[in-house]
């Protein structure tokens, strides 16, 4: 299995001088194509920061990051934006749906950004929305849907382009246990169908239990499970 993510000695520091805060401290991590990996740790351990660095949503000071065989440190803003759209799908605790667009339009947006024609983008979006059992919400805007429905649409938007890499940061944090399980099961099923790699940050042990590998982070470093428990 080839690696889609290769990270070496990654360091992320906020601030300068005496006030500098080292959030990531020498992260080394390989994740293979098609793997489903959870990143766990206490609040402030660096989980979300690592995910944001992988997704090129945040910068880092030292180390190297390769995604799909591409070293990203030399990319400019425009190149990173295009690479993210073609390669990655993002899911966050806040659904971040555009309020002025319908559910269908929100899911179509990543495809339209790729310059897919509108007719084909609609067909692809409808397929994914149907998997989430939301075909009766196509013309509803986010304010007209429940929180669980909005989050399912957000996940549909993240995966509609069949990205090689799906990054999820507390995707079920605002949902009840039933809706959380439904959403994660559909996400993982679609990920397997598309051979997408899924990296998910969550405090929910039930989600971590569903992933094939768990990466424990404490004080900005990857540690083994025993060390993570001792820090907690």
We report the CATH number of the domain holding residue 66 as 3.40.50.300
**45-54 CB burial, b ≥16 within 10 A, e <16:** bbbbbbbbbb
For the record, the structure tokens of 8 come out as 């070496």
The burial of 86, by beta-carbon neighbours within 10 Å (0-12 exposed, 13-18 middle, 19 or more buried), is given as middle
pLDDT at residue 1, rounded to an integer: 67
Alpha-carbon distance of 148 to 22, in angstroms, equals: 35
Q: Can you give the pTM of this predicted structure?
A: 0.89
pLDDT at residue 231, rounded to an integer: 44
Residue 65 domain boundaries: 3-231
The count of domains in the chain is 1
Block mean pLDDT (10 aa), the chain, length 232: 92 86 93 95 92 91 91 85 90 92 97 94 96 94 94 94 94 84 90 93 88 93 67 44
pLDDT at residue 230, rounded to an integer: 45
């Amino acid at each position: 299995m080839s690696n889609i993510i290769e990270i070496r000695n990654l360091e992320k520091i906020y601030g300068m001088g005496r006030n500098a805060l080292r959030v990531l401290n020498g992260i080394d991590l390989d994740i293979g194509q098609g793997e489903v990996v959870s990143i766990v740790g206490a609040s402030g351990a660096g989980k979300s920061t690592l995910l944001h660095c992988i997704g090129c949503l945040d910068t880092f000071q030292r180390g190297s990051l390769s995604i799909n065989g591409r070293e990203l440190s030399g990319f400019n803003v425009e190149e990173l934006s295009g690479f993210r759209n073609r390669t990655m799908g993002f899911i966050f605790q806040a659904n971040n749906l555009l309020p002025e667009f319908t559910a269908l339009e929100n899911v179509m947006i990543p495809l339209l950004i790729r310059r897919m024609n509108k007719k084909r983008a609609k067909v692809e979006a409808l397929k994914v929305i149907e998997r989430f059992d939301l075909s009766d919400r196509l013309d509803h805007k986010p304010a007209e849907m429940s929180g669980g429905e909005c989050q399912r649409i957000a996940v549909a938007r993240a995966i509609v382009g069949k990205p090689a890499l799906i990054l999820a940061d507390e995707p079920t944090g605002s949902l009840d246990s039933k809706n959380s399980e439904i959403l994660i099961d559909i996400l993982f099923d679609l990920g397997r169908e598309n051979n997408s790699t899924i990296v998910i940050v969550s405090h929910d042990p039930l989600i971590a239990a569903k992933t094939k590998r768990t990466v424990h982070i404490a004080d900005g470093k990857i540690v083994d499970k025993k060390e993570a428990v001792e820090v907690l």
